[in-house]
Structure 1
Amino acid sequence: MTEAPKPCPFCGGTELEVMDIDEGYAAIACDTCDAFGPMGLGAEGAWREWNHRAFEESPFS
């Protein structure tokens, strides 16, 4: 992983783990609120997908 993992966008939790999904795909799961991110190819792809956010700040503020 090239960049530090971002906290969970739902609860702010930092207890995160890689979950193997299927056929080389993985996703990041939050141990605090049980949310999980989009699948990526392997752990590296899962972290990249988890860290991708449509908005860094609320568009409504």
Structure 2
Amino acid sequence: MTNPSTEKPCPFCNGTDLDPNRWGMGGQYTLCKTCGAFGPDASSGITWNDRNGQENKGEKQ
């Protein structure tokens, strides 16, 4: 687990092994090391934790 206190789990697999300090594709982004999901670019003004009310697809109901 890289940063469990500030980053929400991955919205796709509910993974918590995240790297919020990845660089590439023209900017900084968060990478889920469990399933490979990534986004958004930090310069976009949107963060990994911005979900607009969407539920985490990996969460058990």
TM-score range, shorter chain: 0.5 to 0.7
Report the TM-score when normalising by structure 2: 0.66
Q: 1:40 to 1:11 in 2, by over 3 A?
A: same
1:20 — aligned with what?
23
**Secondary structure class of the residue paired with 1:50:** coil
- Unpaired stretches in structure 1, ≥5 consecutive residues: none
Higher helix share: 1
Q: Which residue of 2 aligns with 1:11?
A: 13
Which has the larger Rg?
1
Q: TM-score, normalised by structure 1?
A: 0.66
Cα separation, 1, equivalents of 2:23 and 2:28: 4
- 2:38 matched to 1:31? no
Aligned length: 49
- Higher RCO structure (Cα 8 Å, ≥6 apart): 2
The sequence identity of aligned pairs, in percent, is 43
Letter in 2 for 1:10: F
Q: SS of 2:48's equivalent?
A: helix
- Which consecutive residues of structure 2, in runs of 5 or more, have no partner in the other structure? 57-61
Q: Structure 1 segments of 4 or more deviating over 6 A?
A: none
